[in-house]
Amino acid sequence: MSDVHIQSVLAQMRQLSSEASATAAPERAAGNGPNFGEMLKASLDQVNETQQAASKLANAFSAGDQNVELTEVMLAVQKAGVSFQAMSEVRNRLVEAYQEVMRMQV
């Protein structure tokens, strides 16, 4: 992968991060932001969509589609893997937090 391509991906990630923090700040200040369950559900849906898109690209490449490049497939598969690992880590942390709360004595 070229350095230029990596830099463009990093620039996109920074832009999305700044947009997300800009939209989240007014919602938090007003107190009417989405609840935790909605945010978790949206994240799960996004991970699922990423995995489905990677699967479709891989199937298209395997079928011999000339419009799908190997690098595109590999990037999509890696994105899906990273997003799944991140979601698994969030789940693990939630389970740990729940167990810690259950160990507390009242």
**What does the pLDDT look like over 66-93, one tens digit per residue?**
999 999 999 999 999 999 999 999 999 9
| Residues 57 and 9 placed together within one structural domain of the fold | no
**Is residue 28 domain-shared with residue 38, that is, in the same domain?**
no
Same structural domain, 38 and 26: no
Q: What is the pTM of this model?
A: 0.63
Separation between Cα atoms, residue 40 and residue 37, nearest integer Å: 5
In total, how many domains does the chain have? Answer: 2
* Cα-based distances in Å from 48 to 74, 80, 91, 94, 106: 17, 8, 15, 19, 39
Q: The domain containing residue 19 runs over which residues?
A: 1-33
